[in-house]
Chain A
Amino acid sequence: MDTIRLYRSTIGKKAVMAVTGAALFLYVVAHMVGNLSIFAGPGALDAYGRWLRDIGVVWPVRVGLLACVVLHFVAAYQLTARARKARGRYEHRRVVQGSYAARTMRWGGVVIALFVVYHLLDLTVGVLNPNGVPGEIHANVVADFQHWYVVLAYTAAVLALGFHLRHGVWSATQTLGVTTSRALGLGVAIVICAGFLSVPFAVFTGLVS
């Protein structure tokens, strides 16, 4: 294994982004499935939270996620700086290909990172939560999504994540040398968006209280 030389190449940095992105994506899937336990009845979400602490996965996962985010961001920053220097500047340029998702990967990633900070202060630390009692996950979530502006903020962030995944999932497979269909990314994005948005809208419309 020739890690240093591999990381020096543009493809090596992309591979780091693909692998860390895949790890973050697996966490997102697990997070979404966990969220859906709110539909299993009163107390299910709180019980799920207690179970995660009981089996001792919370801090190892947090450390791993932080490492992935740092690696993902550093590689993205280096590749962006490189692209800025390399690309041409035209008087007249027309975009001929590339989805909205593909063109907004960089700033979309920044939007997601900022949302994660807010999300942690809201539902992990609790300082930005209207209820904000540790362990009362269900009550905190319900207190949040009574407010239209919280629902709006979460919706915008989930859609940003959806766009990021739409291009990111497909692009990561391409980077790791596997050619798949772009439809894979679109399908993943739709499922993730639907799963995450079901909770705020269920609370906001009164289906969950």
Chain B
Amino acid sequence: MKLTLRIWRQSGATGRLVEYPVDDLSEDMSFLEALDVLNERLILAGEEPVAFDHDCREGICGMCGVMINGVAHGPQKATTACQLHLRHFKDGDVLTVEPWRADPFPVVRDLVVDRGAFDRIVAAGGYISVPTGSAPEAHATPVPKPDADTAFEAAACIGCGACVAACPNGSAMLFTAAKATHLGVLPQGQPERYSRARDMVAEHDALGFGGCTNTGECTTVCPKGIPLTTIARLNADLLRAHTTRSDR
């Protein structure tokens, strides 16, 4: 099959869309493999290949992700760009491919953006403090099944940044809430639950992300289907951290 890819090319402060016809594609290829095919041709022709992030290509690492025709990770629900197969497009389709765009996600080159802001949100509180020593017996701390399920659902976040890319406010609240929920509903996460909410949200805001308006575009494009309820949970923890907790 044949596709026409209009790809954002950028090597300095500004960039532009460049159109590339790509043929000899198979519908069994992933979207990233279509970019690989294009890049091989560009290299053979002596041109600069398109830079894009990728790693596991199994939909679990969170490295890949581009806007395809204006939708983060493309048209297929709950699917990363690496797991998006060309069979979801029609022969001859024209696809606009752009990097994630948000003020705290500067474009490094072409389709690659710097998502270091996510690391700084996690560093601000997305962890539990564990004293060194031998690992405790895993079954010593019982976890109610519904809590385990809620934590696991949130822990599925791979930090790809699609939520920010899709947000009309440039907010990273779904990501922040996923991390805070994943730790905050488990017994091991309780001691730092409220300081975590306070510190992660403060870092989120300091990095220049916008506020959430509960529009829900984030959860719609999220390849892991992180629900908006995580944001309500984080809101509750943050309000409690600033109003009633003495350990703030």
Which residue of A has the minimal Cβ distance to B201? A9
Taking a contact as CB atoms under 8 Å apart, the answer to whether A102 and B215 are in contact is yes
Interface size class of A (residues with CB under 8 A): 35 or more
Taking a contact as CB atoms under 8 Å apart, the answer to whether A91 and B98 are in contact is yes
B residues 183-238 near A (Cβ < 8 Å) are 201-202, 204-205, 208-217, 219-221, 228-229, 231-238
Contacting residue for A96 out of B101, B166, B173, B205, CB 8 A: B166
Complex contacts, B211 vs chain A, CB 8 Å = 10-11, 13-14, 79, 82-83
The number of chain B residues with a CB under 8 A from chain A is 53
* B3 adjacent to chain A (CB < 8 Å): no
Give the interface SS of chain A, mostly helix, strand, loop or mixed.
helix
* B96 adjacent to chain A (CB < 8 Å): yes
Taking a contact as CB atoms under 8 Å apart, the answer to whether B243 and A14 are in contact is no
* B118 adjacent to chain A (CB < 8 Å): no
Taking a contact as CB atoms under 8 Å apart, the answer to whether A98 and B217 are in contact is yes
* A30 adjacent to chain B (CB < 8 Å): no
* A152 adjacent to chain B (CB < 8 Å): no
Taking a contact as CB atoms under 8 Å apart, the answer to whether B205 and A8 are in contact is yes
Taking a contact as CB atoms under 8 Å apart, the answer to whether B210 and A11 are in contact is no
Contacting residue for B208 out of A85, A98, A171, A179, CB 8 A: A85
Which of B23-31, B63-71, B132-140 sits within the interface? B63-71
Which residue of A has the minimal Cβ distance to B248? A2
For the complex, give the distance between the alpha carbons of A14 and B231 in Å. 12
* A5 adjacent to chain B (CB < 8 Å): yes
Complex contacts, A93 vs chain B, CB 8 Å = 67, 70
* A89 adjacent to chain B (CB < 8 Å): yes
A87-B210, A89-B101, A175-B214 provided; 11 other pairs, C-beta below 8 A?
A11-B201, A11-B234, A12-B238, A79-B169, A79-B213, A85-B103, A87-B168, A88-B102, A92-B69, A96-B71, A167-B214
Give 15 pairs: A residue, B residue, CB < 8 Å, sorted on A.
A1-B242, A3-B242, A5-B242, A10-B210, A11-B201, A85-B170, A88-B102, A93-B67, A93-B70, A103-B168, A171-B214, A174-B232, A176-B236, A177-B237, A177-B239
